């Protein structure tokens, strides 16, 4: 059974083939040099045949709108849910992590999609060891007037606005970056307010202005499994570009590890890092890869 629906949820079109569904975006999508991308997101399917049918229709629809490349799964842009788990390993799912049935990546490949970008999550049980460069970086930063402090939960909205100021500058060079209005950014974090431990969200400031931050949360997925929460998820690490802040990310990561250890946590997961992201290089000093994710694409020739 085929069905086509125009939705009022940000997407341009919603398609169904039996149990399979996708949403399409083409009017507001991440920019790609030399391409006019169309985005396929909100994917779900119960069988390979239905997945193949709905993905084929999605590509036909996007090509008809002038798109040259289909990208997915992505719910419109990288601020929302995107990617498929393609190497799950032995670790259980952690908080805020995308999840999918193990057969889905194979269904996308069978429909003619190939890897566009790879992402990784890493884990470490060593919250004591510091990158040898960190102490020197910390001394240099302090001499330049940079301070690091914990998130002020009583100023929740104002603190998120400070984080936003860093994010919109730091993330501009990220792959498939699209701007996000401040209110939409704040709303995303407002949704997890009850899960925030202020000691695990650290802001770096210079002359009273935010220049970097690290955002970590306890892995409450452990509690949902009836386990003691021993792991923190390092969700986001961002620093303003420029040589004057070189090394600040390493300092922030070391500080959040120390804060987690002081709270009784024994493990950290560095979550969802793009293959070329600087944070992955920082993570390599402490952690080993536990999961791989893939964003797919297909040329609409």
Q: DSSP assignment of 176-195, as one string?
A: T-----HHHHHHHHHTTGGG
Pairing state of beta strands 231-239 and 20-25? unpaired
Asked if the bond preceding 156 is cis, omega within 30° of 0, the reply is: no
Q: Is residue 270 part of a domain?
A: no
Q: Is residue 205 part of a domain?
A: yes
Any idea which of 5-19, 37-51, 57-71, 104-118 has the lowest mean pLDDT?
Answer: 5-19
| More confident of the two residues 259 and 191 | 259
| More confident of the two residues 262 and 189 | 262
pLDDT in tens, 270-281: 999 998 877 787
Q: Is residue 287 part of a domain?
A: no
- Within this chain, do residues 82 and 141 fall inside the same structural domain, yes or no? no
- Within this chain, do residues 250 and 141 fall inside the same structural domain, yes or no? yes
Q: Is residue 241 part of a domain?
A: yes
Q: Is residue 92 part of a domain?
A: yes
Residues spanned by the domain of 146: 126-265
Any idea which of 102-116, 182-196, 249-263 has the lowest mean pLDDT?
Answer: 182-196
| More confident of the two residues 54 and 284 | 54
Q: What tokens does 127 get?
A: 């919250």
Calculate the alpha carbon distances from 234 to 74, 130, 268 in Å: 22, 16, 7
Q: Is residue 278 part of a domain?
A: no
- Rounded CA separation 31/23 (Å): 18
Q: Is residue 288 part of a domain?
A: no
- Within this chain, do residues 48 and 138 fall inside the same structural domain, yes or no? no
- Confidence class of residue 4 from pLDDT cuts 50, 70 and 90? very low
The CATH number assigned to the domain holding 253 equals 3.40.630.30
- Within this chain, do residues 165 and 243 fall inside the same structural domain, yes or no? yes
- Rounded CA separation 26/131 (Å): 43
Verdict on whether the full-model pTM lies above 0.85: yes
């Amino acid at each position: 059974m085929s069905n086509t629906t125009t939705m009022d949820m940000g997407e341009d079109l919603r398609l169904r083939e039996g149990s399979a569904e996708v949403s399409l975006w083409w009017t507001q999508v991440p920019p790609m040099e030399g391409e006019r991308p169309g985005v396929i997101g909100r994917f779900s399917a119960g069988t390979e045949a239905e997945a193949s049918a709905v993905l084929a229709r999605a590509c036909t629809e996007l090509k008809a709108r002038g798109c040259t490349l289909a990208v997915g799964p992505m719910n419109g842009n990288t601020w929302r849910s995107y990617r498929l788990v393609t190497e799950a390993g032995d670790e259980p799912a952690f908080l805020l992590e995308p999840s999918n049935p193990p057969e889905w990546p194979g269904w996308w490949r069978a429909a003619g999609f190939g890897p566009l970008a790879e992402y990784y999550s890493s884990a470490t049980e060593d919250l004591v060891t510091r990158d040898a460069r960190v102490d020197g970086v910390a001394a240099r930063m302090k001499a330049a007037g940079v301070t690091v402090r914990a998130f002020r939960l009583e100023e929740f909205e104002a603190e998120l606005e400070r984080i936003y100021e860093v994010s919109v500058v730091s993330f501009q060079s990220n792959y498939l970056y699209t701007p996000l209005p401040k209110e939409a950014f704040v709303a995303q974090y407002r949704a997890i307010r009850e899960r925030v431990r202020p000691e695990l969200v650290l802001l770096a400031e210079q002359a009273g202005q935010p220049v970097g931050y690290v955002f970590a949360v306890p892995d409450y997925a452990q509690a949902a499994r009836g386990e003691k929460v021993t792991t923190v998820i390092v969700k986001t690490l961002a620093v303003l570009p420029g040589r004057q802040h070189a090394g600040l990310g390493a300092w922030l990561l070391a500080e959040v590890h120390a804060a987690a250890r002081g709270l009784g946590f024994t493990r950290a997961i560095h979550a969802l890092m793009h293959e070329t992201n600087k944070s992955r290089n920082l993570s390599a000093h402490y952690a080993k890869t536990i999961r791989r994710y893939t964003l797919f694409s297909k040329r609409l020739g």
